[in-house]
A and B are shown apart, each in its own frame.
Chain A
Amino acid sequence: QVQLVQSGAEVKQPGASVKVSCKTSGYTFTDYYIHWVRQAPGQGLEWMGRINPKGGGTDYAQKFRGRVTMTRDTSISTVYMEMFGLRSDDTAVYYCARRVAVAGTNWFDPWGQGTLVTVSS
């Protein structure tokens, strides 16, 4: 079955960077975009951006441009999200999700289990 398995929780100091991985399995890696969505404690979902695993092209939400980089390694069917210059308000659960596209319609399925990133001194 299709699975997205993310790396474990991280604790970082302000100003540091973090790299979260999302290992995919059960489908052809290059056939589906992977998106990243985050959720601060007690808050809603926030779209961060997406990567096309086929060519590596990316699109980022304006808020994260210049501070987030999404990459992929096709040899191990894994996508990465790296965030720089961490601040306390970056404390959140970070999700990766596969974007299904059928006949002009899209949806997320499945989602990774989420990775908690805590930024604290």
Chain B
Amino acid sequence: QSVLTQPPSASGTPGQRVTISCSGSSSNIGTNAVEWYQQLPGTAPKLLIYRGNQRPSGVPDRISGSKSGTSTSLAISGLQSEDEADYYCVAWDDRLNGLVFGGGTKLTVL
């Protein structure tokens, strides 16, 4: 139902590397920059990645973003228990003339 498609869940053990995908189309990811946000329970989202692969200050370099065509991915290496959260991709959509979010991915650290 969301314009951007994310897997509903992902999981990994401490220290592992996990990737979360986000698939869109030529009118959004294919043309415009993607952002990734982390949301902990009961809190507002926090910016992790902008312009597809740039980290704001304070976000560790074990978190990275990449883009290929109309898809983008968020990678978290050296997984930690504090990474357990919901993750959302978002991009501007030129056809809808508005922002579109992915449905969100719940990351569980086993």
Contact = CB atoms under 8 A, between A and B. Distances in A.
A61 B44 contact: no
Interface of A: 35, 37, 44-47, 49, 59-62, 95, 97, 104-114
B60 interface: no
B35 A107 contact: yes
Interface stretch (B10-18, B62-70, B76-84, B101-109): B101-109
A17 B96 CA distance: 26
B104 A49 contact: no
Interface residues of B, number: 25
> Is the contact region of chain A dominated by helix, strand, or loop, or is it mixed?
strand
Interface in B76-100: 86, 88, 90, 92, 96-100
Contact of A61 (B90, B92, B98): B98
Contact of B88 (A45, A107, A112): A45
A47 B45 CA distance: 13
